[in-house]
Structure 1
Amino acid sequence: MGPDEDGDGRYLPISEHGMIGDMRSVALVGVDGTIDWYCCPSFDAPSVFAAILDADRGGSFRLTASVPSRTKQFYFPDTNVLITRFFAEDGVGEIQDFMPILGDSTEADRHRLIRRVLCVRGTMPFSAVVAPRFDYGRSSHTVRRQDGMLVFECPHLKLALTASVPVADDGRDARAEFTLSEGETAVFALDRVDGGLAPRDCPLHEAAEQFEQTVCYWRRWLSQSRYRGRWREMVHRSALTLKLLTYAPTGAIVAGPTTSLPEQIGGERNWDYRYVWIRDAGFCVYAMLRLGFTTEATAFMEFLSRHVSLRGGDQAPLQIMYGIDGRTDLPEQELPNLEGYRGSAPVRIGNGAVDQLQLDIYGALIDSIYLYDKWVQPISSDRWEEVHDLVDWVCEHWDTPDEGIWETRGGRKNFLFSRLMCWVAIERAMRMANRRGLPADLRRWREARDAVYHWIMKKGWSPERAAFTQHEGADVLDASVLMMPMMKFMAPTDPRWLSTLDALTADLVSDSLVYRYDPKASPDGLRGDEGTFSICSFWYVEALTRAGRLDDAQLAFGKMLTYANHVGLYAEQIGQTGEQLGNFPQAFTHLALISAAFNLDRALG
């Protein structure tokens, strides 16, 4: 889909972006060469460029050929360095976008963003407009010249723009017009310069050196992958994407790098995903360990140790999400000054779901700890004490109604998936205790585990639908039950499960794409509809694989790969005509792709 086919020519389709980053923040770069999303100095900091949420007031860094041209975008092989190419009548040019990965922590605090512009054939005129709009467009700023650089300054942030070509400013924005001949290069660099960091030039040779260093870093990191299967390119792109969504200073893993990209154009299902969901991060640890990336799993375990403390009293011991620095207060607010992507208001920052009860997070977390203990290194005695306390709490509260995995705002229910993951929490802890001889009240745990099992088999099963359902007392189906065989709750060829798989296929699957549930049949407290949920589509592939339906699984997986964008990225959802919807890219989707590919590969032999 081209930029003018989405109904509002001011906005590129969500999928028409690539992502660069330095494991502290990211930038989204459109196929037209515009950076229209960037937060500094971290994922959850206020935006500098947010034109993706308001084309007029959000701010952007536009860099493009100033003559009619066709564009193509791709990643420099096996890296997170993004190349945008421009093909015009008189030449071919390209922009190499990246954030340097440097060992020096002081230099890393610059959060440098480099845009190298090259003419590779003929001649090519370019134009640039750097128009920051700090604090989601709410803060005014000044521009001044210092040592040949332009410094953009607002009360909470200073950024310095270095350019190897002449740049003019109007007191607010910076502009440049320049022409390159074959073999010539220009460089733009944007650095954070507050907090004791002095402005620093970025000459052409330094940009070239940092390009090489960054390429080497990503290739060195990716070489650790153990995956050698059929879908290596897509699996490795997903791994590189998940690595970009890690926050290096703490080991946190964010669910997504954006906020308020809509699940329905013009709708209200717009959420801030720039935080650490215990569930998403736990699943991410599994996917990374599958590929052999143990450092990221260790870093997340350290994040839990340092930044997540168990709550006492009547509260659940864990929140469902945390800030990337471990903070617990994430108040949700709306930004009326931004119109939202293609008018999809409200734009939200913070997330009110932080106060929800979602019992499934305990299973996701303890499963990831179990795998870490098994595949990386035994957990410490202190960590086991925390696991023990969590499992004791789950044994007491597994039958409490909650908001569930999908964070519905329509009231608490007795969700099957929440019960399933409580079973996982207890069962995985029992495995650890038995394997290592760790102290545990195994009798009590076994009784609770078996009680959960019987609840699911009796109250989660609908004889009328011949399927496991979303929650007690309903005949509504929910794609989250696809996890039942994946979590080893029941055999993937059990007659009850195969009947459920058939029912899900009939009700929620549309040409391999899977809806989470039907909001009309199961009201979730929000207006409007949504697209198919891509993690569920990959769960479906894995469920078919485990059931032995390999032809169906391979076809469904192949179809899902066609919905990736031009550089292999996925948003949260896929709309009616194949458009990507929701926050982009989405960790959930990419970790599920890795798991589906790994297991399908193994089954195909």
Structure 2
Amino acid sequence: MEFENGSGRVDGSRYLPISEHGLIGDLRTAALVGTNGTIDWYCCPRFDAPSVFASILDADKGGSFELAVDLSTRTRQFYFPDTNVLITRFYAADGVAEIQDFMPVVDESREASRHRLIRRVIGVRGSLPFRARVAPRFGYGAEAHSVRAQGHEAIFECRSISLALTSTAPLECDGTDVWSHFKLLEGESVVFALDQIGDEVRPRGCPHAEAEEQFEATVRFWRQWLSRSRYRGRWREMVHRSALLLKLLTYVPTGAIVAAPTTSLPEQAGGERNWDYRYVWIRDAAFCVYAMLRLGFTTEAEAFMGFLSERGIMRGTGPTGPLQIMYGIDGRSDLPESELLHLEGHLGSAPVRVGNAATKQLQLDIYGALIDSIYLYDKWGRPISSAHWDEVGVLVDWLCDNWDQPDEGIWEIRDGRRNFVYSRLMCWVAIERAIRMANRRGLPADLPRWQQSRDTIYRQIMREGWSVNRGAFVQGLGDDVLDASLLMMPMAKFISPTDPKWLATLDALTTDLVSDSLVFRYDPEASPDGLRGAEGTFSICSFWYVEALARAGRVEEARLAFEKMLTYANHLGLYAEEIGRTGEQLGNFPQAFTHLSLISAAFNLDRVLG
């Protein structure tokens, strides 16, 4: 299959589909491993660092770590049960073998800077010939490097980083790449380890015994972490896979949570809707906190609260208010967006972007998402500190003065600010949850002012956010366009899930935006967003739809829609941001938004099913 980009036709057969990948990581960075055994996305030493392997964005210039059988094979991929250790199995006429891919999770000692990535190849049956090719392309494929190889060790060096590759099989150097060829009999294995090295972290081999020890330690880490889950419902496997994924997207040194570990995976093949998601969206991270708290993972919620306070996030004074919509994983506020013109993009989907210009947008809904997560943490985790409450008070006071202005909204339109109903809704949530906290704990607050603002927002939504023509709540004040973000109205407790106005809205959304359980955000022809091209259905909206149906008492419809959504997961239970017309995964992958909404939908569907 070929795709068109600005430079001509692109051969799609050079790219694995987005869904044909699994994710491994060490809570500082992550790598995508294809079903063909190739690592085609890896940034080191952290999520937002320039890539080392990026062939998922350019098959020729991006770089990769290939491990493959020199025969015709079938492959299957799965996670070692209850872990983020990935197994890729190869089946051929002459035998069976597997790759065990994982990154050991270590503490804050010097070894944390090694960011070790281990690939253990094991012969299971018969005899299979393997080839390995390690071809890093530093700095998103733009930074030259040298390589020194001798025996079982190779050192890749460029201006910004040095990596050491060690192997129990001999290595050969070929210009800027390293090769290895070996044959495995049943019970034999070869271990590759890729480490970041520096003055304090020296090259170190990974013999078979150490690989086994690290494998067992990594399995033990993930299983011990998952054992804290309180979920015992019907969809335990999918919920726990989603929880493990959300944990993989946390950046342990600061408590940050990234929206996705990738950049520029397209929302439409050949299109321009390609964004860098390797940052902390206040909205996404706050929703993650809710999902983690639901499952009993209070430590992650506490770490994110630490990120907010230690980085001074809620004490900001930027041009759009106290909060930006997103931050770097280290808390930095400046994330300039640029285009990497030398990369063709996944399936020719240019441009490839690094950074995100949406940083400077005004999105008022983030205040509701954040303060709701603080409210839940205060309720289900531990009481927030007096300093945190002071910060909440500053946010709410600012919101009382600024809620009634247009913004770019949850969908980050690039076509000017509008009066979005969802933004007003979440401003109401922010103030309402703060009032609850103040009342429950007797905390100081300007309650008369807060209550007046809350009630004014409510009345405006009811008066101007309701369209008589559509018989439904709509996207913007005074318009007639539907928007799937309004599925949050009953979940935010703004309106009863059985209120006649809400049921009419749910019916209208079902008619206009739902296709076999899949939900579009809005109609871009009726509501232009400043970008060319189409997009798929948004999976977070699809799971919101499940929840809305369940809360409205349409339980059978909700359960069927949920089960249908599960069929769109990839072979590992992972989701990107969107689903395309033929069921393909689109957008950055895996996506926190989708998995946190799956957890919430499963939890609430379980509750109504009893």
Structure 1: which amino acid aligns with 2:242?
A: S
Larger mean Cα displacement after TM superposition, 317-326 or 145-154:
145-154
Alignment match, 1:287: 291
Q: Which one-letter code corresponds to 2:368 in the other structure? A: G
Secondary structure at the aligned position of 1:560 is classed as helix
Do the aligned residues in 2 keep the contact of 1:531 with 1:574 (CA within 8 Å)? yes
Please state if 1:46 is matched with 2:50: yes
8 Å CA contact 1:554, 1:600 repeated in 2: yes
Partner of 1:193: 197
Partner of 2:495: 490
Contact kept? 1:50, 1:59, Cα under 8 Å: yes
Q: Distance in 1 between matches of 2:407 and 2:413?
A: 9
Q: CA deviation at 1:311?
A: 2.4
- Is the counterpart of residue 566 in structure 1 residue 571 in structure 2? yes
CA distance in structure 2 between the partners assigned to 1:113 and 1:67 by the alignment: 26
Structure 2 gap segments, 5+ residues each = 2-9
Residue 108 of structure 1: how far off its partner (Å): 1.5
Task: Go from structure 1 to structure 2 and tell me whether the alpha carbon gap of 1:360 and 1:335 turns closer, same or farther (over 3 Å shift).
Answer: same
CA distance in 2, matches of 1:113, 1:197: 14
Query: Does the CA contact (< 8 Å) of 1:363 and 1:425 recur in 2?
Result: yes
Q: How does 1:172-321 map to 2 (within 5 A)?
A: 172-309=176-313, 310-312=315-317, 315-321=320-326
* CA distance in structure 1 between the aligned counterparts of 2:70 and 2:479, rounded to whole angstroms: 59
Aligned to 2:15: 11
Query: What TM-score do the two structures reach when normalised by structure 1?
Result: 0.98
Q: Does 1:548 align with 2:553?
A: yes
What is the SS of the residue equivalent to 2:162? strand
User: Could you tell me whether the CA contact under 8 Å between 1:127 and 1:178 is conserved in 2?
Assistant: yes
> 1:596 corresponds to which residue?
601
**Structure 1: how far apart are the matches of 2:75 and 2:285?**
35
Query: Which residue, out of 411, 418, 424, partners 2:416?
Result: 411
- Aligned match of 2:71: 67
Matched, 1:96 2:96: no
Q: How does 1:75-86 map to 2 (within 5 A)?
A: 75-86=79-90
Shift of 1:401: 0.3
For the residue of structure 2 that corresponds to 1:497, the secondary structure is helix
Query: Aligned equivalents of 1:100 and 1:313: distance in 2?
Result: 39
In the TM superposition, residue 102 of structure 1 has moved relative to its aligned partner by 2.1
Residue in structure 2 matched with residue 527 of structure 1 by the alignment: 532
Unaligned runs of 5+ in 1: none
Alignment deviations for residues 443-496 of structure 1 (CA, whole Å, 9 cap, x no partner) = 000000000000100110001101000001210100000000000001000000
Q: Secondary structure of 1:457's partner?
A: helix
1:304–1:315 CA distance, 2 compared to 1 (3 A) = same
Which letter does structure 2 place at the counterpart of 1:191?
D
3-state DSSP of counterpart to 1:485:
helix
Is 1:107 the counterpart of 2:107? The answer is: no
CA contact (8 A) 2:76 2:90 kept: yes
Match of 1:22 in 2: 26
Q: Deviations over 1:261-288 (max 9, x none)?
A: 0000000000000000000000000000
Q: Is the 8 A contact 1:19 1:26 kept in 2?
A: yes
Q: Check conservation: 1:334, 1:347, Cα contact below 8 A.
A: yes
Determine if the alignment matches structure 1 residue 346 to structure 2 residue 333: no
Letter in 2 for 1:329: D
Q: Which residue of 2 aligns with 1:475?
A: 480
1:327 match: secondary structure: coil
**One-letter amino acid of the counterpart of residue 174, structure 2:** D
Q: Secondary structure at the match of 1:96?
A: strand
Per-residue displacement from partner, 1:509-562 (whole Å, max 9, x unpaired)? 000000000111100000001000000000000000000100000000000000
Tell me, yes or no, if structure 1 residue 378 matches structure 2 residue 383.
yes
Q: How far off its partner does 1:144 sit? A: 1.0
Report percent identity of matched pairs. 73
Is the Cα–Cα contact under 8 Å of residues 33 and 64 in structure 1 kept in the other structure? yes
Shift of 1:207: 0.7
CA deviations 1:65-84 (Å, max 9, x no partner) are 11111000000000000000
**SS across alignment from 2:428:** helix
* Residue in structure 1 matched with residue 374 of structure 2 by the alignment: 369
Is 1:328 matched up with 2:336?
Answer: no
Q: Secondary structure at the match of 1:268?
A: coil
AA of the residue aligned to 1:556:
A
The alignment covers a number of residue pairs equal to 601
For 1:12 and 1:148, how far apart are their aligned partners in 2?
Answer: 30
TM-score (norm 2): 0.97
* Contact 1:259–1:273 under 8 Å retained in 2: yes
Equivalent residue in structure 1 for 2:398, among 393, 398, 415 = 393
Q: Is the 8 A contact 1:49 1:59 kept in 2?
A: yes
The answer to whether the 8 Å contact 1:144/1:171 transfers is no
Question: 1:201 & 1:209 partners in 2: Cα distance?
Answer: 14
CA distance in 2, matches of 1:512, 1:314: 40
**Aligned-partner Cα distance in 1 for 2:549–2:258:** 29
**DSSP 3-state at the match of 2:240:** helix
8 Å Cα contact 2:110/2:200 also seen in 1:
no
Give SS of 2:111's match.
helix
- The alpha carbon displacement at 1:196 in A equals 2.3
Q: Residue 298 of structure 1: CA displacement?
A: 0.3
Q: Distance in 1 between matches of 2:236 and 2:403?
A: 39
The whole-number CA distance in structure 1 between the counterparts of 2:146 and 2:201 is 18
Deviations 1:123-144 (A, max 9, x none): 1111100000000000010001
For the 8 Å contact 2:123–2:189, the answer to whether it is kept is yes
CA displacement at 1:436 relative to structure 2:
0.5
Rounded to whole Å, the distance in 2 between the matches of 1:478 and 1:221 is 37
| CA distance in 1: counterparts of 2:94 and 2:408, whole angstroms | 59
Aligned partner letter, 1:174: V
State the distance in 1 between where 2:271 and 2:334 align: 26
Aligned partners of 1:69 and 1:86 also within 8 Å: yes
Matched to 1:373, the amino acid is D
1:313–1:517 CA distance, 2 compared to 1 (3 A)? closer
For 1:104 and 1:554, locate their aligned partners in 2 and report how far apart those are by CA, in whole Å.
43
The residue aligned with 1:142 is 146
